[in-house]
């Protein structure tokens, strides 16, 4: 990431923390549907990948994220994912955005010597709008009255998704 070191470390800590929680949730199970565990694992991979990208940028992260995106996007068409299709699609878009950022950040510095941003500005702008809107939407769902949600776990997982959206937004801003 390009920016102040404290921002990079804070973003890495946020992403690693949310990724760790999602990994714990995937390992613990507790869901009645196998697809939820797979989404928890995908969220964990994305959170830990975001932390890695923030601290050690490189092309490898882009290819790993592209593989994850391919699996998630293909999974949206599976027969057992009717209720999880939107989640898989969102995570697929997130993994594609991670691949885009990793590959754009690893581009030769000569391409950026005129103080231009990395990547394609229109695509970066669309991704900023998407993840900014997603973070606001997911965060607004956390503001519901306490009796309106089923459990605190649902609220905590929503907070993790909002934090991941904010993290993606912050990483895109540094491009």
Q: Read off the pLDDT of each residue in 71-90 and give the average, rounded to a whole number.
A: 79
Q: Across the chain, what does the average pLDDT equal? A: 81
- pLDDT of 76 higher than 60: yes
Q: Read off the pLDDT of each residue in 90-94 and give the average, rounded to a whole number.
A: 92
N-term to C-term CA, the chain: 8
Contact 92, 143 (CB under 8 A): no
What pLDDT sits at residue 95?
93
Which of these, 67, 75, 90, lies nearest to 38 by C-alpha position?
75
Range of the domain at 153: 5-173
| Residue 74 half-sphere exposure toward CB, CA atoms < 13 A | 6
Angle (nearest 5°) at CA 24 between 23 and 28: 120
Number of domain units in the chain: 1
Q: Read off the pLDDT of each residue in 98-103 and give the average, rounded to a whole number.
A: 92
What pLDDT sits at residue 109?
52
- Give the position of tokens 């909002």: 162
Contact 68, 45 (CB under 8 A): yes
% of the chain beyond a pLDDT of 70 = 78
Please give the Cα distance from 45 to 91 (Å, whole number).
11
Contact 53, 98 (CB under 8 A): yes
What pLDDT sits at residue 66?
94
What pLDDT sits at residue 30?
54
The predicted-structure confidence for 16-67, as pLDDT tens digits, reads as follows: 998 888 888 877 765 545 567 777 888 888 889 989 988 888 889 999 999 9
Q: Read off the pLDDT of each residue in 151-172 and give the average, rounded to a whole number.
A: 79
Please give the Cα distance from 25 to 45 (Å, whole number).
12
Eight-class DSSP state of 78: S
Region of 144 (left: φ > 0; alpha: ψ -120 to 50; beta: rest) is beta
Please give the Cα distance from 117 to 13 (Å, whole number).
25
Q: Which helix (H) or strand (E) holds 62?
A: helix 59-75
What pLDDT sits at residue 110?
45
């Amino acid at each position: 990431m390009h920016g102040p070191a404290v921002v990079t470390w804070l973003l890495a800590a946020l992403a690693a923390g949310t990724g760790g929680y999602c990994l714990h949730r995937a390992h613990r199970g507790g869901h009645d549907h196998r697809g939820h565990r797979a989404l928890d694992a995908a969220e964990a991979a994305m959170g830990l990948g975001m932390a890695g990208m923030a601290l050690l940028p490189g092309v490898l992260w882009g290819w790993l994220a592209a593989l994850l995106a391919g699996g998630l996007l293909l999974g949206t068409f599976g027969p057992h994912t009717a209720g999880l299709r939107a989640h898989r699609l969102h995570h697929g878009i997130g993994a594609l955005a991670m691949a885009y950022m990793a590959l754009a950040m690893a581009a030769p510095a000569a391409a950026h010597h005129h103080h231009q941003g990395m990547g394609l500005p229109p695509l970066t702008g669309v991704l900023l709008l998407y993840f900014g809107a997603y973070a606001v939407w997911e965060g607004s769902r956390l503001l519901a009255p306490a009796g309106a949600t089923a459990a605190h776990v649902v609220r905590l997982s929503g907070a993790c998704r909002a934090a991941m959206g904010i993290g993606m937004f912050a990483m895109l801003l540094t491009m």
